[in-house]
Amino acid sequence: MKVIPGAADCSRSCYVLISYLLLIGVLLLASGIRFYRLGSVDTRSDEVQLWKDLRTHKSVGAYLRFHFEHFKTDRVMPLPRIAAAMVVHSLGVAPSFFWIRLPYALCGILCVWAFFRFGTALYDRRLGLVLAAFAAVNPYCIYWSRVAHVYAFLLCFMTLSVAFVQGLIRSLLSGKPPGRLDAVGAIVATILASYSHLASWSLCFFLWSAYIGLAIFWRRKGVGKAHLFWSLLGGGIWTLTLLPWGMIFLSSLFLPEDPYAQFSSPNTLADLRYMLDTMLWGSGFPRVLFSYGL
């Protein structure tokens, strides 16, 4: 059988093109689901509080300063609410449920691409398309991207963090140099995930620790030094960006008035559960399982 020159390259190009066309279709489906009557969905108490805060604080800087000053007591990372503040104040619109939900809906759409990226890094584009399709119609993903709540940001950036670090580890084990997109993406995604919710701190620490450990083990083989450089650089940048928040968090654990971890009481070990509730999503076995499972 005669092989036509360039047929393999043409076939691969068609495969890539079809994959991205299908991904665009899935993203359009996800966009339609998330934006349909976005401003008329029943509200939650978190959204009411966010709406009040945006009417009180007239600039993004003032709102960020408010979050930093109250982090010791409320333990709320600022990214999701700051994103809503940026939309409202940069566009000059009055706070409404549609406008404060807009960044959460956009993050829910980005989450579909995050699952595509994760599936591609884990196996290939076919698995990525399957995961993207599931994310587009998953009730959990849909619900949290249609209300102004932190989980849309958390799920999106945690998934991206796992996807980019998985891409780096796959390159390392294959003897390939680290991809620039994976390296920069891992740094940015882990920082954004950590600034979305406390629950992601432990996962991001595990991801960077795993990558650094593998890079140290493989440092004498081929491209190991390049991976070691990017792993130490990424882990260091991530640590430095969280350092002020981490110091505030640790300093508050020993306060007698702290509502989460009353370390000053005689029953210290029993009170450790309050800190676990803080680092996870409140309480409840499904939330704990999802945090560690992802």
The pLDDT-based confidence of 213 (bands split at 50, 70, 90) is: very high
Sign of torsion over alpha carbons 98, 58, 53, 150: positive
Q: 35-44: long-range contacts at Cβ-Cβ below 8 A with a sequence spacing of 24 or more?
A: 35/105, 38/97, 38/98, 38/101, 38/102, 38/105, 38/146, 39/96, 39/97, 39/98, 39/101, 40/97, 41/97, 41/101, 41/146, 41/147, 43/97, 43/147, 44/147, 44/148, 44/149
Amino acid identity for residue 232 in this structure: L
Q: Token pair for residue 204?
A: 């991001």
Contact 65, 82 (CB under 8 A): no
* Contact between 123 and 89 (Cβ < 8 Å): no
What pLDDT, on a 0 to 100 scale, did the predictor assign at position 10? Answer: 60
State yes or no: pLDDT of 291 exceeds 50.
Answer: no
- For residue range 88-110, list pLDDT tens digits in order: 888 888 888 899 999 999 999 99
Cβ-contact 146, 41 below 8 angstroms: yes
Mean pLDDT, rounded, for 6-22? 75
Q: What is the pLDDT of residues 230-280, one digit of tens each?
A: 999 999 999 999 998 888 877 766 555 555 444 444 444 445 555 555 555
The pLDDT of residue 264 is: 44
Q: For residue 43, give the 3-state DSSP assignment.
A: coil
**Mean pLDDT, rounded, of the chain:** 82
DSSP string of 191-232, one letter each residue:
HHHHTT-THHHHHHHHHHHHHHHHHHHTTTSTTHHHHHHHHH
Q: Is 74 left (phi over 0), alpha (psi -120 to 50) or beta?
A: alpha
